[in-house]
Amino acid sequence: MSLNLFNLTGRRALITGSSQGIGLALARGLCSAGAEVVLNGRCAERLRAASDSLGGARYRTFDVTDHLAVRQAVDEFEAEVGPIDILVNNAGLQYRSPLANFPPDKFDLLLQTNVASVFHVGQAVARHMIRRASGKIINIASVQTALARPGIAPYTATKGAVGNLTKGMATDWAPFGLQCNAIAPGYFQTELNAALLADNTFCGWLERRTPAGRWGRVEELVGACIFLASEASSFVNGHVIYVDGGITASL
């Protein structure tokens, strides 16, 4: 009976930025727990390929930084297909540069993609969830929600904002039956970290710095996502769950 708490059969999940990497891995994971997934991204070709890899999952192409486009896409989907029970705000990007010379346009891009998108999609979906008095919102934060490294200060700022926006969502929307939490990945083998994966010096440092002694695999984020998407987390709200091999637990 306890395993039924993690069963997502009959639930529908929208995952932003899910044509590859962490988003696609989470989509596969939620599918394995019984959920129907809806993929999202800006590139229709990549979305079609991701959809095919999941046996023909639904997908919607829209820009998560465009408030009106998000609102329209979500409202149309709810009207034409049905409710979105679970939202995973995964879309994000990285840009590395020393802070003294960080390009202002890249700073704005990080803010729009990593923070504003969480607000845009979260608000659009939550409005429907609130009417149903039920819903799960999972924001993808980062180990940089709590820690900083040289060269990524603006990214660190955006992920800190995601952590606090998650708490704000929980505070505002828990009275309406929503659970809003975040997953904060450590260092995972993804396209976003391709430059770091190719850097032997960095890899050596990371393996020494992380108690688990290795990079994470994207599949290792699935358990936390299923937990937060399911009835197993019915009284969990406003938390940031670090899945990082222990890096935030040690000096």
pLDDT for 2: 80
Cα atoms in the 13 Å half-sphere on the side-chain side of 80: 8
pLDDT for 1: 57
CA 229 – CA 80 distance, rounded (Å): 23
Task: Give residue-wise pLDDT tens across range 51-65.
Answer: 999 999 999 999 999
Amino acid at 183: I
Q: Are 245 and 211 in contact (CB under 8 A)?
A: yes
CA 182 – CA 21 distance, rounded (Å): 17
Picking from 140, 143, 123, 139, the residue whose alpha carbon sits closest to that of residue 215 is 143
- Which homologous superfamily does the CATH classification assign to the domain defined by 2-243? NAD(P)-binding Rossmann-like Domain (3.40.50.720)
* Statement: the pTM of the whole predicted model exceeds 0.95: yes
Q: Which residues of the chain have pLDDT under 50?
A: none
The length of the chain is 251
Task: Give residue-wise pLDDT tens across range 104-149.
Answer: 999 999 999 999 999 999 999 999 999 999 999 999 999 999 999 9
Name the percent of the chain in helix, strand, coil, to the closest 5: 55, 15, 30
**Which positions are catalytic?**
155
User: Which strands make up the sheet holding 135-140, listed edge to edge?
Assistant: 58-61, 36-41, 12-15, 86-89, 135-140, 178-185, 240-243
pLDDT for 191: 85
Read off the tokens for 85: 């029970």
pLDDT for 251: 87
pLDDT for 3: 83
